[in-house]
Structure 1
């Protein structure tokens, strides 16, 4: 079976746009939760009242989980690529070189955000108090 070259031949649209969208959400969670506005909004819908520093710290856990899931999904896709297994998206199971590079960039971005999310999760209250 002959596959034409070019981007988006093996990756579905949900991978092309879904992975970056989730990474952007993971990046925006700590930024937004560190504001007084969102903290007040979260306190209105929560039964437990928290400070802005505590909401910022808790956002680190969500960032870490989102990035860990994205890392796992990308690793599974790249592992299938190395073994040449067919997937639902590709008949032959092969991605183009551009798609593999794209996934590698996303994987590094997810890893960086995962580390940042873990640091915020552990020390977010101190970071928020010191910097913001």
Structure 2
């Protein structure tokens, strides 16, 4: 059974009426939340790189490095939101639901990127801006 009217239970591999069954509106809202969290993480990294809201006393590289923590936390939260959909889906359906698996892969790499920025962002920032 595929997506029906808004809010109706959709059988994506779970027994109809079971706690694992996902509603079509719930599926869309969780995927949208996952994408929003990932975009917010990228936006915060870009804002920190550009020095938005940077305190006067803070070095730009250190400010960028701090954004790595936000990237990591928001990406982990996005992964958790998207992973919560998996119990309601079976493997046959997951192969065709790219709009769930793509942001999950992106969130993994955002977690890796956020961890690198968190640990080495000041060095990367300083190296980039000292060249030339």
TM superposition score normalised by structure 1: 0.70
Structure with greater helix share of residues: 1
The 8 Å contact of residues 5 and 96 in structure 1, kept in 2 or not, is answered as: no
Uncovered stretches (5+) of structure 1, i.e. residues with no partner: 84-94
Tell me if the contact between 2:38 and 2:74 (Cα under 8 Å) persists in the aligned partners.
yes
Count of matched residue positions in the alignment of Structure 1 and Structure 2: 110
Q: Indicate if the aligned counterparts of 1:57 and 1:122 stay in contact, CA closer than 8 A.
A: yes
Q: Distance in 2 between matches of 1:64 and 1:35?
A: 19
Using the TM superposition, give the Cα deviation of residue 106 of structure 1 relative to its aligned residue in structure 2, in angstroms.
0.7
Aligned residue in 2 for 1:42: 54
Instruction: Please name the residue that 2:112 is paired with.
Output: 115
2:101 matched to 1:104?
yes
Say which structure, 1 or 2, has more relative contact order (CA 8 Å, 6+ apart).
1
Counting only pairs closer than 5 Å after superposition, residues 1-132 of structure 1 correspond to structure 2 as 3-4=1-2, 10-12=24-26, 13-36=28-51, 38=52, 41-43=53-55, 49-82=57-90, 98=96, 100-132=97-129
Using the alignment, how far apart are the partners of 2:33 and 2:90 within structure 1?
Answer: 22
Change (3 A) 1:97 1:72: same
For 1:20 and 1:30, how far apart are their aligned partners in 2? Answer: 16
Q: 1:65: Cα distance to partner?
A: 0.6
**How many Å separate the matches in 1 of 2:81 and 2:2?**
25
Tell me which stretches of 4 or more aligned residues in structure 1 moved more than 4 Å: 95-98
CA 1:115–1:59 in structure 2 vs 1: closer, same or farther (change >3 Å)?
same
For the Cα contact (< 8 Å) 2:34–2:81, is it kept in 1? no
CA RMSD of aligned residues (A): 2.6
